[in-house]
């Protein structure tokens, strides 16, 4: 099997791949990685349903992708606001009512290091959006995943900032730190994939989590440029080489894990740069940008998060 790396793009990964007849659901289809993911898959013949909170913005962003897909794949847009569980349930129920199976679901949407706030349902914004919104969406759509289907959760190397806090997920008793909250939500994305994979593998459905890499997209809109430069200076001081990925490079790991990599290799794992990441146990998390922290793959922690998430959203799966 051909190998890829941090420089590989969606074009590299999907070269020669025919997705005609495949159905894919992608969240966050109005900007950045979401648009590129939709474009790349549709260009290979897939029917892609892109979900976005702002449909007008999504239509403008997807127009070029649809033109490139030509007579091959097709793109459909649906409304989805991950900060509002009523919207999430409505979108999932519409998909269930349509009764069309899916081969791949990519949970791409998210927010990063935003000021303290809450979702419509009262959850801390990052945990509520990045994890709980997708938790409800994916579980409600699970019956539509046909045998051989995959679920790809977009996580981040930012998971190293913090494990989940099951006692205080909403920072009710903990001082709020934007990157700690982001870390919690990204660890939750990995743990969700671990437990989802365990629950669905007997049905022939596998789940994985991926880190797209460092990319300049709208995700970083809440970050002070001075903070970003400070982080880069620290890397340079440690002698680390760093370069931003392009958006096609950033979306490559999502499509690699979703349609190219062997299911057994990525199921229940965390991937980066188009390969399965290694554990970074014993490595200073403030230094190691690559790899996955052991707590993010802990199966007991994954089950505990699942139970806590069901309590929080008031729904059992």
CA distances from 103 to 26, 183, 186 (A): 11, 29, 24
Q: Is 182 a catalytic residue?
A: yes
Q: Give the C-alpha separation, 223 to 236, whole Å.
A: 19
CB burial of 223-240 (b: ≥16 within 10 Å; e: otherwise) equals: eeeeeeeeeeeeeeeeee
3-state SS class at 36:
helix
Q: Give the C-alpha separation, 35 to 86, whole Å.
A: 24
* Cβ neighbours of 276 (radius 10 Å): 16
- CB 277, CB 256: distance < 8 Å: no
Longest pairwise C-alpha distance within the chain: 55
Q: Which of 30, 33, 4, 57 is nearest to 215 (CA)?
A: 33
**Active-site entry in 102, 176, 182, 270:** 182
- Region class of 49: left (phi > 0), else alpha (psi between -120 and 50), else beta: beta
Q: Which two tokens stand for residue 141?
A: 């759509």
Strand order, beta sheet including 102-107 = 74-79, 47-52, 23-27, 102-107, 145-154, 206-211, 270-272, 275-276
What residues act catalytically? 182
């Amino acid at each position: 099997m051909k190998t890829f790396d941090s420089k590989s793009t969606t074009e590299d990964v999907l070269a020669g791949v025919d997705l005609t007849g495949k159905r894919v659901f992608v969240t966050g289809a109005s900007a950045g990685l979401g648009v590129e993911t939709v474009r790349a898959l549709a260009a290979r013949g897939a029917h892609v349903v892109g979900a976005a909170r702002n449909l007008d913005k999504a239509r403008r962003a997807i127009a070029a992708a649809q033109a490139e897909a030509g007579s091959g794949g097709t793109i459909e847009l649906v409304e989805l606001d991950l900060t509002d569980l009523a919207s999430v349930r409505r979108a999932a129920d519409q998909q269930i009512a349509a009764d069309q199976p899916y081969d791949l679901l990519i949970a791409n949407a998210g927010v990063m290091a935003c000021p303290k706030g809450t979702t419509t349902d009262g959850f801390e914004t990052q945990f509520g959006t990045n994890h709980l919104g997708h938790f409800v969406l994916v579980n409600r759509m699970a019956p539509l995943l046909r045998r051989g289907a995959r679920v790809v959760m977009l996580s981040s190397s930012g998971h190293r900032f913090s494990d989940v806090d099951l006692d205080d997920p909403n920072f009710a008793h903990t001082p709020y730190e934007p990157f700690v909250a982001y870390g919690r939500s990204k660890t939750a994305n990995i743990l969700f994939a671990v437990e989802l994979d365990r629950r669905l593998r007997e049905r022939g459905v596998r789940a994985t989590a991926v880190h797209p890499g460092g990319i300049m997209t709208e995700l970083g809109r809440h970050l002070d440029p001075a903070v970003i430069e400070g982080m880069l200076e620290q890397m340079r001081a440690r002698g680390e080489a760093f370069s931003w990925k392009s958006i096609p490079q950033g979306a490559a790991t999502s499509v690699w894990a979703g349609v190219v990599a062997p299911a057994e290799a990525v199921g229940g794992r965390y991937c980066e740069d188009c390969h399965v990441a290694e554990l970074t146990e014993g490595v200073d998390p403030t230094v190691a940008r690559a790899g996955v922290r052991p707590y993010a793959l802990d199966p007991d922690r994954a089950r505990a998060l699942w139970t806590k998430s069901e309590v929080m959203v008031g729904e059992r799966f």
